[in-house]
A and B are shown apart, each in its own frame.
Chain A
Amino acid sequence: MVKLEKCIEEKFLKSLSEDKAVDAAIVHQLRELFANSNKPKADDFVRIFTSLVDGEVK
């Protein structure tokens, strides 16, 4: 990835990590995806954002 893109990627991940609605594990997986893939697919993001198990009864 070109340098300016790297800056944008870092800012994107930083804003996500500061968002309390986004789990840290999601940000970690996104960081790994960007590091290992030049062209992430939509299904990669779907897989990451649906990877957490939730749904406790309130």
Chain B
Amino acid sequence: MITLEHAHIEEVRGIRKLDIDFRKKNFAVSGPNGSGKSGVIDAIEFALTGEIGRLAGRGTKGLTIAEHGPHVDKRDFPNAAFVQLTVYFPDLGKSAKITRKISAPRKPKIEPANADIVAAFKEVEEHPEITLSRREVLRFILAEPSKRSEEIQIILKLESIGQIRAALNTAQNKLSTALRAGEDSIQNRRNALQRHLQIKAFEANELLDSVNLRRAALDLPQIDKLAADTKLDAGISDSDKLPQFNKQAALRDLKALSDAVGMLPTIGKKHVDEILSGLTRLENEPAL
């Protein structure tokens, strides 16, 4: 938080030379269109940040502080255009002057150049949202209530934060849905396991006792500790490995089987002939 004590503006935007005594109080600037009201805002913003928001952003391609910051009559003399602000820092209990020329927006002169004063000005410089143009204020006032937060984000240059918040909300919804599905799945599997193991409570000890009882019946080693990756059926089947399938071997086996099936009539012919011969003898036996 800072308050302004005084501003001296020379050859900046539409202002030739102007002194304003703010006295650390609220201050209103009024006047007809084109009288330079916004120029005062631009000059204060420039003095504090080295930038003029109205010369940047959408629809301002080709505009620069060097060319469009100075008064039109001093466009070729940017060195003559400067702003000097006297600023009061309540936290420090000190006042200081900052002078910034259009010709050197990144090299302000700070008096006194004490470390705490310089640091305080540096912090102010890092917040370009400190000045709002009439267009920005009107934009906020005219915004629908449901979209006012979006407008504030735009005014404070927080569009990225809004996008990140929307992405976080979407992520939260996705994760909540996945969590509910996961919890349902866990409950179903837990119920199924509890039913199969015939245990009353789903507790590690009771579960292990029931499992080990069954493993003992199958002559399998006991499980001492239950962890997330414990396999209760370890030793019964190796479910991690897929059964290996050898196509060539399978084809060979299939051919051998087909051959064997084809040989069946030949293999049994001797016995069939013997049986038929025996039946014929029996039919021709006079005693029968």
Contact = CB atoms under 8 A, between A and B. Distances in A.
Contact of A2 (B160, B174, B227): B160
A5 B228 contact: no
Given A56-B227, A57-B204, A5 B158 contact: yes
Interface in B82-141: 126-129
Contacts of A8: 158, 161
Given A3-B126, A56-B228, A46 B158 contact: no
A42 interface: yes
Interface string B166-178: 0110110011001
Interface in A29-58: 34, 38-46, 49-50, 55-58
A22 interface: no
Contacts of A41: 167
B124 to A, nearest CB: 11
A6 to B, nearest CB: 9
A46 B160 contact: no
A2 B160 CA distance: 9
A50 B161 CA distance: 22
A25 interface: no
Contacts of A57: 204, 226-228, 230
A46 B286 CA distance: 96
A1 interface: yes
A50 B174 CA distance: 11
A50 B182 CA distance: 13
B156 interface: yes
A4 interface: yes
Interface string B183-222: 0000000000000000000001000000000000000000
Contact of A40 (B126, B157, B164, B174): B164
Contact of B160 (A39, A55, A58): A39
A57 B193 CA distance: 14
A4 B156 contact: yes
Interface string A9-43: 10000000000000000000000001000111111
Contact of A50 (B160, B164, B170, B175): B175
Contacts of A2: 128, 157-158, 160
5 contacts: A2-B158, A2-B160, A8-B158, A42-B174, A44-B167
Given A5-B157, A39-B163, A57-B204, 16 more contacts: A2-B157, A2-B158, A3-B126, A4-B127, A38-B160, A40-B167, A41-B167, A42-B170, A43-B171, A44-B167, A49-B175, A55-B228, A56-B228, A57-B227, A57-B228, A57-B230
Interface of B: 126-129, 156-158, 160-161, 163-164, 167-168, 170-171, 174-175, 178, 204, 226-228, 230
